[in-house]
Amino acid sequence: MTQKAKKALALEIIQRLKEEYPDAGCTLDYDQAWKLLVSVRLAAQCTDARVNVVVEGLYEKYPDVASLAAADVGDIEEIVRPCGLGRSKARDISACMKILHEEYDDHVPDDFDALLKLPGVGRKSANLIMGDVFGKPAIVTDTHCIRLVNRMGLVDGIKDPKKVEMELWKIIPPEEGSDFCHRLVYHGRDVCTARTKPRCDQCCLADICKKKI
């Protein structure tokens, strides 16, 4: 498929998903930028639903960046253990909060490269922060995104998150990227599932999806 054809397909998919999931947003609960940083680290190999429950206890004990930065890593680990990989996640969260406290006056930087330098923050997390917190162009290539854009034909057999991101930047309007990726999460959970057979008979994209054509 030519780049021009992929752009046209992308625009049609974006429009249909907008109609199907008009209110789609981040499924991690947060009311401050630093909390999204914490939650997205905990979400690695863990469901967003579980993260949303676990962080309630974490924030009750450590309600701000300063208190979490000063917390004992072992105490953080004890709280976040239900999310899996407790030791490494607690270590990253502690180190990240220390940097925010010492270098950024308890604020999250709104610069992509600065975010990438924070412990435990990769491109997916940095894009999520840039899009959801700061309203800047972002493409979050999580597992739903990678699986779906390959099935739909927007990318051709690419599984590496960064490479998928780079391909999508070529065909997705910058202002649409963040919401588009949120809608892929909803669609990937509800219809175009991974663990069961995709519900193509219920899919709003069935007639234009590469998998079906």
Active-site residue (options: 124, 160, 190, 211): 124
Active-site residue (options: 142, 156, 162, 210): 142
Q: How open is the CA angle 23-24-30, to the nearest 5 degrees?
A: 105
H runs (alpha helix) in the chain: 3-20, 33-42, 48-61, 65-70, 73-80, 86-103, 112-116, 123-132, 143-152, 161-171, 177-190
Q: How many whole angstroms separate alpha carbon 184 and alpha carbon 142?
A: 9
Task: State the sign of the Cα–Cα–Cα–Cα dihedral 195, 201, 202, 207.
Answer: positive
Q: Give catalytic status of residue 29 as yes or no.
A: no
Q: How many whole angstroms separate alpha carbon 107 and alpha carbon 105?
A: 6
Per the structure block, which two tokens stand in for 133?
A: 């917190």
Q: Give catalytic status of residue 197 as yes or no.
A: no
Q: How many whole angstroms separate alpha carbon 203 and alpha carbon 190?
A: 10
Catalytically annotated residues: 124, 142
